Amino acid sequence: MTTNAITEDKYRWMESNEKPEVQEWLKQQSETTGKYLDGIPVRKELREQFQKLFSLDTVGTPAPRKGLYFVMKRRGDQDMSVLYVSEGISGIPRVLIDPNTLSEDKTVTIKQWRPSRDGKLLAYGLSNAGNDKFAIYVMDVVTGVKLSDEIPDDFYPSFLSWNTDGTGFWYRKHDPRMPMSEAKLYLRIYFHALGSKYQDDLLVFGEDLEKDDYPGMTISQDGRYMLVEVGGRDRRSGKWWNEIYLRDLALSDVKFVKVMARIPDITYDGRLHRDRLYVITNQDAPRMQILEMDLNDAVSGHVIPKVLIPEGKGVIDEVAFVGNKIFVATLQNVYSAIHEYNLHGDFVSEVVLPSIGSAGGFSCEKEGEELFFSFESFAIPRTIYRLDLVKNNLSIFAQMEAGFDVEMIETKQVWYPSKDGTQIPMFLVYKKGVVLDGNNPTVLYGYGGFNISLTPSFNKGIIPFVLHGGIYAIANIRGGGEFGKEWHEAGMQKNKQNVFDDFAEAAKWLISSKYTRKEKLAIEGGSNGGLLVTAIVIQNPGLVEAGIASVPVTDMLRYHLFFGGVHWIPDYGDPDNEEMRKYLLGYSPYHNVKDGEKYPAMLIVTSDNDDRVHPMHSYKMTARLQEANTSKYPILLRVELKAGHGGASAITKYVEEQADVWSFVFDQLKML
C-alpha cells in the first residue's frame, strides 16, 4: 500500500454507523457470514454444549453493609444476573433489580452499583445497550422504591462514593459545559444531594483538568477526608502519570492539597484507612510497594511517606484494609498468593489457596469482621470464599458448577524464548490423555498491553474445544502486568513490536515442540488482543491457519479520535507526534494489508454499540482484507447488535456468539 493510499484512507466512510451505505455493507456482511456459519455441521452441537455449560447458577462476590449483603446471582434459566439483598449472611435473598424484566430483547444491563454506608440506599447504573454508557438511579433498599434522582447517561456518569449519612454522593461525569461530541472526556468530580436535580450538582474537583485527564475519588470512613486521584499523559512524551490530592472536608475554606506529584510512568493508588494515607506505587519498586503517611501531615502539605510493605518477589495486584489487618494479593509467576499483614506492615500469615490459580476481588467493610474474595483456576470453577477475621476461619460462601468432569482437564505452565531471548511463560490447557503428536488443534490466546495480566481462569467457552482434543494456550507476553512495571513498559509505545514478536514466537514454539502444526493452529484475542491478532496475521500471513479478532483496534493512526481512545496514548503512543506516527504506521494492521497477499481465514467480531473500541476498526479492517486477500480462506465479520465492548450480555445471545466463534475454529482447523 503506497503512502498516498494511506493518506487517502479509502474506507474512512465506514467510521459512522449511521450512514446508509455502512448499514447496507453491514447487511451484506451479515448475509455472507450467516451463510458460512449455517453450513458448518458442528454448529448445532456446539450451541447445545454451550447452552448446557452456561445454563448453571452463578453467584457474584457479596458486598456487606451493616449486616446487609448485596450480591449478584443468576439462575441457570435466566439470561442475566439479578441484584439481591439479604439480612444476614444466611438471610433469604430479596430481589432489588432484575434486568431480565427491563427490556424484551435483554439489552438493558446493570452496570456499577454502590450501597450507601448503612445499606439503606442503593445507587446503580443501567445501560440500554450493555456498553459503557449508563444512567445512575437511586433506590430505597427497604421499600424497593426508586427515588426521583437520575443522572442521564449522556454524561457517562460513574465511580461514586456515598457520604457518611447517605444524603448524597460524589461521582464522576462529563462536564456539561464542554462539547457533547466528546462525552467520554472532560471528566470532573461532582456532588449530588439526594432529592435535587442533576443540573444543580456541585462541581467539586477538576475545573482545570485537561480534557483527557481521568479523575477518581474516595472518602474516608469517618467522612472527613476526600482523596482524589488523577491520571493523565505528558503532552511531550505521551507517558502516563498519576497525582493524588487530599482535602479536609471539615474545613470549608481549605482547598485540595497535592500529596503525590506526577512523575512519568509512575502510578499511585491511594487508600484512606483510619488516620493514615496508604499509597500503592511502582515508584522505586517495579513490582509495587506500599507507602504510608499520617493524614494530618499529608493534608497540611508536610508529606513524609515511609515504606510500610516493601517490594517483594511477586507483583502487588490488589490490597484490602479491614480493621487492624491488611490483605495483599500478589502475582508470582502469573498465579496468585494472598498474604495478611498488620497495620505496622508486619507479615502475619498466608491465606492458603486450593491450588495454582487466580485470587482477588476483595470485598469488605473498612471496620468489618470479614473479607470476601474469589478464586478460580483452569480446572476449578469460580469459588467465593469468606474469611471470618474473628475466628480466623476460611469457608466457601458459594461455588459455581463446572458442568463437566473437571478431572478430565490437565494444565501446565511452560516457558519459551522470544525473538530477543526473553523467556515468556505460557499456560497450556488440554484433555488428559491427548496424544501430543504435532497434530493437535490449538488456539493461542494473548493480550499484551495496558498492564493487564492473563492469570489462570475457569473459561467455559473453551471446554467443547478442549474436550474435542484441542489445546488452548495462553501466552503471558510483554505489555501485560504479569511481572510489573518493566514487563509492561517492554511492550509499550516504541516497544510494541516486542508484543507481536512474543506472540509469534509462542506460535512457532508450539509448532516446533510438536504440540501442533500450522494447519491446526489458530490465534485469538480481543480489544488490544484484537490488535495483536490482526498485527500477527499481517506480519506473518503464513504462520497460522486462522485468526479470531474480537473488538480489535486496527487503525493506529486514528484510534485516539473516537470515544476515550485518547486515554490509550500512554500505551500506544501519540499518532499526532511525527516520530511516533511513523512507528505506529509501521505496524498498524489496517495500513499494512498488502494487495495480493494470501491471508489466513479471519473472523472479526464486534458490536454495533461498542463505545470503547469504535466498530469502525473492525469494519475497515474487514473491508481492506477482503479487498486484498487472494487466498481461498474467508474473511468474515460478525456484528453483535445492541451490545457493547464485552459483546452479548444475555446468556442466550452469548451462547450464539460462542457457537459461531468456535464453529469457525472447528471448521478452519478441520475438527469436524
Give the phi and the psi of residue 373 in degrees, each rounded to 5: -155, 165
| Catalytic member of 560, 614, 617, 645 | 645
Q: From CA 427, how far away is CA 259, in angstroms rounded? A: 41
Q: Cα dist. 103→98, 127, 128, 258, 626 in Å?
A: 10, 11, 9, 45, 36
According to DSSP, the residues that pair with 645 across neighbouring strands are: none
Q: Cα dist. 144→78, 94, 405 in Å?
A: 21, 10, 41
| Catalytic member of 527, 550, 588, 649 | 527
* Cα–Cα–Cα angle for 640, 642, 647, rounded to 5 degrees: 45
Per-residue DSSP letters for 406-431?
Answer: GGGEEEEEEEEE-TTS-EEEEEEEEE
Q: Cα dist. 566→53, 105, 253, 424 in Å?
A: 38, 33, 35, 30
Whether 645 sits among the annotated catalytic residues: the reply is yes
Beta strand ranges found along 60-142 (DSSP E): 63-65, 68-74, 82-87, 94-97, 109-115, 121-127, 134-140
Per-residue DSSP letters for 360-420?
Answer: EEEE--TT-SEEEEEEE-SSS--EEEEEETTTTEEEEEEE---SS-GGGEEEEEEEEE-TT
Beta strand ranges found along 38-196 (DSSP E): 58-59, 63-65, 68-74, 82-87, 94-97, 109-115, 121-127, 134-140, 146-151, 158-162, 168-174, 187-193
* Cα–Cα–Cα angle for 338, 343, 347, rounded to 5 degrees: 45
CA-wise closest residue to 662 among 508, 524, 518: 524
Q: From CA 221, how far away is CA 230, in angstroms rounded? A: 21
Q: Would you name the residues annotated as active-site residues? A: 527, 645
